[in-house]
Amino acid sequence: MAKILMVASEATPFIKTGGLADVAGSLPAALKERGEDVAVVLPRYREARIDGARRVAENIAVWLGQAKYSVDVQLAVERGVPYYFIDCPALYDREGIYVNGDGDFPDNHIRFAVLAKAAFGIIRYVYRPDILHCHDWQASLAPVYLKTALAGDPTFMGIRTVLTIHNLGYQGIFPPAMLPQIGLDTGVFTIGGLEFFGNLNLLKGGIVYSDAITTVSKGYACEIQTEEYGFGLDGLLRDRSTALTGILNGVDYSLWNPETDNYIAAHYSVDDLSGKSACKLDLLRKFGLPDEAAERPLIGIVSRFAGQKGFDLIEEIASDLASEDVTIVALGTGEMRYEDLFRRLAASHPGKIAVRIAYDNPLAHKIEAGADMFLMPSLYEPCGLNQIYSLRYGTVPVVRATGGLDDTIDEGTGFKFKEYSGAALLATLRDALAAWQNRERWKELMRNGMRKDFSWNASAGEYAALYHRLLG
Ligand code: ADP
Ligand code: GLC
């Protein structure tokens, strides 16, 4: 048994903006089921739902250079896993997680430096792990502190570090003048350290200073070592390739399963698909679409609205697509330009394209269950969870063959295209629409997907093997 402390910036069921939360909310429980001992550190945001948490430590001093942040620690236990919330109201008790209406919070470097440093307070006073497992740039300073400022401290000796990159597109880049504010000295501001084209790059620090690096699919682990997908860090990742592995995310079928999902209109299974049509009708009505649309194929989208997700391609082909006999429902929030794009598409194709600009978990479940196809034309996708959920709901994925999308979808379960172009997307969608007309072939595709098993079992085993390898 290994003792693992994870550091992350979001986790279900407490706080979520994207797939990182699904992973940080389900991998720990899966590891625990395998007999590992796991705890997680998170910020106590205003929006974090932690009723019933209790305070387990108070006034822990977290030093960033000369600046002292005093934090309390609240504990909530979820599926047997302790989640320690760093309570520091000046940093986390505000509207928004990473951003507000004006964009990124200007003190994000401090907010996540305190998170990373506070993890060592947990280690000193509450829970001493063998492995410190950090997720994304928000946790990336932890391995940096361990190997620099805290290197001589016997309390932390022997702790091994893992960094998981969920998305290389977000690196935590800040002006170099902020270095003292995160409690680091200029010694780390080198090309072999956190320096990145004249700026500070926190994710780079995590990559440089961690003992092992993982990312969330095998395909993405290869892609990020290329210039096309490397966001300027491909050279470093190639240098560290022996420490880098891809471990596909698992999914939590206790939450995402049409046989038990309480958000959907009717339950169904691979042996009895009949409930799915009630889900389709319910979904159409939720979007104010006519019942007759149930006779046409229905394409669903659930997504953060970000450049990564490939919506530029949808913009390119919108009028061609709308001339097909098809209905599209989209749920998402994010960048204004994509929110506007979907609003425009809905306004110009009423009754065919409908959009809900919101973050709405029950509606996300209804789309998984009610749609016939699920569209993810991502420019890049480290893993992607929605296409995996879609498989289980018999909602056939149409995806771009990149990263985790390419690794999880094949000809027997969905449709994919390689070239990032509107033409390639349109051709593939037309193939899918044609296949839908053949009810027997379509049911076969649905059933193939529903039988796939992407539960955490295998992937949690790969993490456990990595931890034990690191511990020798
Ligand atoms: P990413 O982490 O890049 O956003 P993933 O596919 O890994 O992509 O995970 C996205 C997760 O967030 C899924 O669980 C999805 O259902 C959820 N999600 C994304 N956007 C919304 C939304 N607008 N409403 C509800 N859930 C959403
Ligand atoms: C990121 C990626 C997504 C992945 C998720 C969880 O947000 O964009 O592809 O599934 O993290 O690892």
- Distance, CA of 84 to CA of 77 (rounded, Å): 9
In the prediction, which pLDDT does 101 show? 83
150 Cα–ligand 2 center, Å: 31
SS3 content of the chain, % helix, strand, coil (to 5): 40, 25, 35
pLDDT tens for 341-377 read 999 999 999 999 999 999 999 999 999 999 999 999 9
Taking the CA of residue 333 as reference, the ligand 1 atom at the shortest distance is 23
Q: What long-range pairs does 229-233 form, CB within 8 A, spacing at least 24? A: 229/168, 229/380, 229/403, 230/168, 231/168, 231/169, 231/171, 232/196, 232/197, 233/168, 233/171, 233/196, 233/201, 233/203, 233/204, 233/207
Contact criterion met (CB below 8 Å) for 224 and 217: no
Question: Please, what is the average pLDDT of the chain?
Answer: 97
Residue with CA closest to ligand 1 atom 2:
19
Instruction: Give the long-range contacts of residues 408-417, CB within 8 A, separation 24 or more.
Output: 408/217, 408/248, 408/383, 408/384, 408/454, 412/445, 412/448, 413/445, 413/448, 413/449, 413/452, 414/387, 414/445, 414/449, 417/377
Two structure tokens written together for 265: 């209109």
Ligand 2 close to Cβ of residue 334 (< 6 A): no
d(CA 381, CA 391): 17
- Establish whether residue 249 lines the binding site of ligand 2, counting it when its CB lies within 6 angstroms of any ligand atom: yes
308 CA: nearest ligand 1 atom: 3
Nearest atom, ligand 2, residue 164 CA: 12
Pairing of strands 373-376, 298-305: parallel
- Which ligand 1 atom is the nearest neighbour of the CA of 167? 3
pTM of the predicted model as reported, rounded to 2 decimal places: 0.97
If you take atom 10 of ligand 2, which residue's CA is the nearest one?
Answer: 384
In this prediction, residue 183 carries a pLDDT of: 97
Provide CB contacts within 8 A for 274, sequence distance 6+: 266, 268
- Beta-carbon neighbour count of residue 378 at 10 Å? 25
Spatial contact of 324 and 399, defined as CB atoms under 8 Å apart: no
For residues 423-452, average pLDDT: 98
Determine the residue of 98, 249, 309, 386 to mutate for testing ligand 2's pocket, defined as the one with the most ligand atoms within 8 A of the Cβ atom. Answer: 249
What are the structure tokens assigned to 268, written together?
């169904």
Q: Backbone phi, then psi, for 440, in 5-degree steps?
A: -70, -45
pLDDT at 63: 97
pLDDT tens figures, 61-107: 999 999 999 999 999 999 999 999 999 999 999 999 999 888 999 99
What are 388's two structure tokens?
């995996």
HSE-up of residue 457 (Cα within 13 Å, Cβ side): 5
Helix/strand number for the chain, H first, E second = 17, 20
Tens of pLDDT along 174-232? Answer: 999 999 999 999 999 999 999 999 999 999 999 999 999 999 999 999 999 999 999 99
pLDDT digits (tens, 9 = 90+) for 238-284: 999 999 999 999 999 999 999 999 999 999 999 999 999 999 999 99
End-to-end CA distance of the chain: 13
- Read off the pLDDT of residues 26-65 as tens digits, 9 standing for 90 and up: 999 999 999 999 999 999 999 999 988 999 999 999 999 9
Q: Is the CB of 329 under 6 A from ligand 2?
A: no
Alpha carbon 427 to chain centroid, angstroms: 29
pLDDT at 10 over 90: yes
Among 20, 385, 393, the mutation site with the greatest number of ligand 1 atoms within 8 A of its Cβ is 385
Query: Which residues are CB-contacts of 85 (< 8 A; sequence separation ≥ 6)?
Result: 14, 42, 43, 44, 48, 50, 53, 73, 74, 75, 76
Read off the DSSP letter of residue 379: S
CA–CA dist 381, 383 (Å, integer): 5
* C-alpha distances out from residue 469 to 33, 38, 247, 425, Å: 19, 17, 15, 42
Q: Which ligand is nearest to the CA of 368?
A: 1
Answer for the pair 416, 401: CB distance below 8 angstroms, yes or no: yes
**17 CA distance to ligand 1 centroid (A)?**
7
- The sign of the CA dihedral 192, 193, 194, 199 is negative
Q: Is 382 in the pocket of ligand 2 (CB under 6 A)?
A: yes
Ligand 1: lining residues by beta carbon, under 6 Å: 18-20, 22, 302-304, 331-333, 359-361, 364, 383-386
